Amino acid sequence: MPCSLAILTVQRSSTRQRIYDTFVLREYFVAYPKNQIVTLPVHTDNTAPLNEYRDGFPQTSQRYRLEIGWRCQNCGVDLSHPSHHKYLHTHHLNGQKYDDRAENYKALCIRCHAEEPMHAHLKNSPNYKDFMRIWPRLPASGV
């Protein structure tokens, strides 16, 4: 190994060692706040191009929830009473609202739906708050 390259290698590794020795995770996160590391989607639910509900979505969604018996496919809560239908949402598994294939659907109560990634905004809706009050008294139908 040529002499100069050997020196360079030693210098490099000692620099690396110093960085390693002095690295403090807490300081790293102060210097680089978490919200700068996490890659956020470019678009929100409202601005994403082509991610719109299809025209027939209300009908397809209605039919789907009827077929699966108005039950949350996550927690099994029974929302078959007509006054409870509004608390059962048709979630698009792949996040593409225009993808209305049945295998892309999952019926979720608003409580479970709000736990899906990028769905936290649902927790601000009046329906969510109403539902959280009545949910403990609703029958679950054992999923």
- Tell the smallest beta-carbon distance from residue 94 to Zn ion (Å): 10
Other residues' Cβ atoms within 10 Å of the Cβ of residue 100: 17
- The answer to whether 54 touches 99, Cβ cutoff 8 Å, is no
- The answer to whether 32 touches 105, Cβ cutoff 8 Å, is no
- The answer to whether 105 touches 93, Cβ cutoff 8 Å, is yes
Number of residues that bind Zn ion (CB under 5 A): 6
For the segment 78-107, give every residue that binds Zn ion (CB under 5 A).
Answer: 91
DSSP lists the bridge partners of residue 91 as 106
Query: Segment contacting Zn ion (CB under 5 A): 11-19, 36-44, 49-57, 75-83?
Result: 75-83
Candidate residues 88, 107, 112, 114; the one interacting with Zn ion per rule CB under 5 A:
112
Query: Segment contacting Zn ion (CB under 5 A): 8-16, 53-61, 73-81, 129-137?
Result: 73-81
Candidate residues 79, 88, 109, 114; the one interacting with Zn ion per rule CB under 5 A:
109
Distance between CA atoms of 35 and 40, rounded to whole angstroms? 8
Residues binding Zn ion (CB under 5 A) = 72, 74-75, 91, 109, 112
